[in-house]
């Protein structure tokens, strides 16, 4: 077995997120990630996976692995990264999530546009339901839905007040089957005891990509390997948050 270091930014929004910059096209994201010497990124738009496939396609000829993911907002206003082993699983999850997203129309003047694009960044259509809303799914239902699809669930930015599991609930329910928590600061003392931690940029514009990263020791840049790394299995582990 051979492990090596992989630099990962597991929380990157695309232009589909209304709060993200329109420069966050698939091509721009993957080029920037490679320029930042990242090996792995995860696409994590708010409550949608509809731009993930094109980001993966844009990276096809690059030394970059793109994980299919989404940043879900539960009924309790808790943000959770959900990462999946294939884009097909993400798209099935996306269809499920969409049914549980309130039927509220986006007002682009207030919240920003929500373009579904091709890999060059050309707009194919606009998502009309407002994506930055809470699903009518509880935290437990979201976590279970991710686990049922063999995904990884990571509560996002737990050291922030807004939209975090600790900010909203005050604690992490100990029975929740979560792989790790995401922190935005570098102080591991903000990590609740017993949980592995990752950090990521939560990039909404290009210059933010890779500004926070998690270094993993893994055999290969796959979701399965990341999962094993988070459990420190067989020499795999998180080596550094930077």
Query: Of the listed pieces 109-117, 178-186, 201-209, 224-232, which binds Zn ion according to CB under 5 A?
Result: 201-209
Phi, psi angle pair for 215, to nearest 5°: -95, 125
Residue 225 makes contact with Zn ion by CB under 5 A: no
| DSSP-derived 3-state class of residue 124 | strand
Contact with Zn ion (CB under 5 A) among 9, 71, 127, 182 = 71
What minimum distance in Å lies between the beta carbon of 162 and Zn ion?
8
Query: Of the listed pieces 24-32, 156-164, 167-175, 216-224, which binds Zn ion according to CB under 5 A?
Result: 156-164
Query: Of the listed pieces 76-84, 96-104, 120-128, 143-151, which binds Zn ion according to CB under 5 A?
Result: 76-84
Closer residue to Zn ion in complex, CB, 156/226:
156
Return the bridge partners of 6, or none. Answer: 216
| DSSP-derived 3-state class of residue 5 | strand
Which of 181, 150, 144 shows the shortest CA–CA distance to 165? 181
Cβ atoms 162, 18 nearer than 8 A: no
What minimum distance in Å lies between the beta carbon of 4 and Zn ion?
28
Residue 159 makes contact with Zn ion by CB under 5 A: no
Contact with Zn ion (CB under 5 A) among 53, 79, 119, 236 = 79
Decide the pairing of beta strands 197-199 and 181-183.
parallel
Structure tokens at 158: 């737990």
Query: Of the listed pieces 26-34, 67-75, 81-89, 193-201, which binds Zn ion according to CB under 5 A?
Result: 67-75
What minimum distance in Å lies between the beta carbon of 90 and Zn ion?
16
Closer residue to Zn ion in complex, CB, 38/156:
156
Residue 156 makes contact with Zn ion by CB under 5 A: yes
Residue 202 makes contact with Zn ion by CB under 5 A: yes
Structure tokens at 48: 């949608």
Residue 183 makes contact with Zn ion by CB under 5 A: no
Structure tokens at 131: 């994506």
CA distance linking residue 79 with residue 100, whole number of Å: 15
Site residue total, Zn ion (CB under 5 A): 4
Residue 72 makes contact with Zn ion by CB under 5 A: no
Closer residue to Zn ion in complex, CB, 208/218:
208
- Number of Cβ within 10 Å of residue 175's Cβ equals 7
Closer residue to Zn ion in complex, CB, 156/180:
156
Residues with Cβ within 8 Å of 25's Cβ and at least 6 positions away in sequence, in order, are 14, 15, 117, 119, 120, 121
Question: What b/e sequence results for 137-170 when a residue is b if at least 16 CB atoms lie within 10 Å of its CB, and e otherwise?
Answer: bebeebbebbbebebbbbbbbbbbeebbbbbbee
Residue 212 makes contact with Zn ion by CB under 5 A: no
Q: Binding residues for Zn ion, per CB under 5 A? A: 71, 79, 156, 202
């Amino acid at each position: 077995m051979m492990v090596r270091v992989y630099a990962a930014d597991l929380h990157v929004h695309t232009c589909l997120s209304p709060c993200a910059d329109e420069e966050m096209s698939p091509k721009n994201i993957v080029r920037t990630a490679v320029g930042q010497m990242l090996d792995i990124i995860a696409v994590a738009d708010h409550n949608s996976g509809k731009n993930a496939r094109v980001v993966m396609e844009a990276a096809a000829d690059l030394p970059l692995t793109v994980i299919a993911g989404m940043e879900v907002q539960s009924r309790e206003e808790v943000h959770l990264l959900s990462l999946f082993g294939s884009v097909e699983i993400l798209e099935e999850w996306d269809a499920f999530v969409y049914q549980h997203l309130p039927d509220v129309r986006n007002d682009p003047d207030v919240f920003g546009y929500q373009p579904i694009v091709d890999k060059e960044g050309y707009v194919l259509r606009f998502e009309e339901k407002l994506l930055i809303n809470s699903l009518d799914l509880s935290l437990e239902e979201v976590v279970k839905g991710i686990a049922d699809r063999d995904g990884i669930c990571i509560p996002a930015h737990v050291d922030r007040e807004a939209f975090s599991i600790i900010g909203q609930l005050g604690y992490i329910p100990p029975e929740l089957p979560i792989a790790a928590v995401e922190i935005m600061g570098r102080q591991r003392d903000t990590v609740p005891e017993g949980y592995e931690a990752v950090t990521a940029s939560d990039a909404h514009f290009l210059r933010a990509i890779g500004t926070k990263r998690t270094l993993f020791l893994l055999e290969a840049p796959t979701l399965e390997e990341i999962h094993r790394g988070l459990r420190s299995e067989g020499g795999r582990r998180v080596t550094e948050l930077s």
